[in-house]
Amino acid sequence: MCHLLWKASDERLLPERVYIAPHAPSFVLADMHDEAQLRKLDAEFRAIWNSTRATVELARNMFQGFAAFETTMRPAPTVDVGGKMVVSEMPPLRSRDDRFTAITRLRLVMEDPGQLLANSVASYIIDQLSEHGNRPAAVFIPGFTNVTYPARQPPKS
């Protein structure tokens, strides 16, 4: 999600300002017209933001002189057949035909309980949409674009 928000902002959104809060209240589009619900959500989101941000600022003030944490958006290391065989973050696809990395990404999401299956392709699709002016029809999707699948056969009786 952080990568999606960063790319959607044309890389202007500061990574240290993005908090993914799984315990935050859900936002329902129908609430857009309910002023009372919007005020309630605004207060809840501000409370989450303020308490999270307060911890960051507290740590910066309390532990000056110690190594600081820095949120960064940097490219993940690339992988090659015969190269690095352990990854701790999602390696980027070098091209739309980079099958080795695509399968490595799938393995990563299956082995890391903190990942969702969709993460194996999400950053690639987000990057492609960004590079193609947010036009889904212009995005090449490996395994789907320019692939002719056999027609479905009716079940045998």
Residue-level pLDDT at 43: 93
- Kindly state the tokens that stand for 23: 């315990």
Position with higher pLDDT, 2 vs 42 = 42
Position with higher pLDDT, 84 vs 24 = 24
List C-alpha distances in Å: 74 to 40, 63, 114: 36, 26, 20
Nearest to 56 by CA among 68, 73, 66: 68
| pLDDT per position as a tens digit, 23-73 | 788 878 888 889 999 999 999 989 988 888 888 888 888 888 777 777 766
Nearest to 127 by CA among 20, 4, 18, 12: 4
The model's confidence at residue 97, banded by pLDDT at 50, 70 and 90, is: confident
Give the Cβ contact number of residue 101 at 10 Å.
21
Residue-level pLDDT at 40: 92
| pLDDT per position as a tens digit, 117-135 | 777 788 888 888 899 998 9
